[in-house]
Amino acid sequence: MKKTLIILAASAAALTSLSAPAIASARPAHVVAVVDHRGPGHASAQLNSRIATLDARIDQGRRTGQLSPREGRRLNKELNLISSQKRSFERSGRGLSAQEVSLIDNRLDRLQGQIHFEKHDFNNRRG
């Protein structure tokens, strides 16, 4: 019995150590990465495009009733805070650093998930 437990513990430890790096590096398929390969202004343009897309999704959700007025205001407020932070980073005079792009990108990813959740949570449906 003791020998079996030791073998099981060793196997579990070996499997955990093999799968941990793979799990840590996994990224959800819906996440959009903003990568700047074309110069200093390109990442900013990609972020602006994502911001505009999320704004349109919030507006569409409000129009169709998938988002309540309260949910729409909260999501718009978060989007405005992200946009404000991006503008603040841009005012530094040197453009957006890779770390700043990553920070804004991660916040936009979270907001994208929140929008999806709120639009599909069925708590504002009639019928």
> In sequence order, which residues have a C-beta less than 8 Å from that of residue 46 and are 6 or more positions away?
34, 36
**pLDDT digits 0-9 by tens, 4-51:** 556 656 555 555 554 444 444 444 445 555 544 445 568 899 999 999
Q: Is residue 7 within a helix (H) or strand (E), and if so which, with residue range?
A: helix 2-25
Q: Which of 68, 79, 83, 80 is nearest to 126 (CA)?
A: 68
64-74 CB burial, b ≥16 within 10 A, e <16: eebbeeebbee
- pLDDT at res. 90: 92
pTM: 0.67
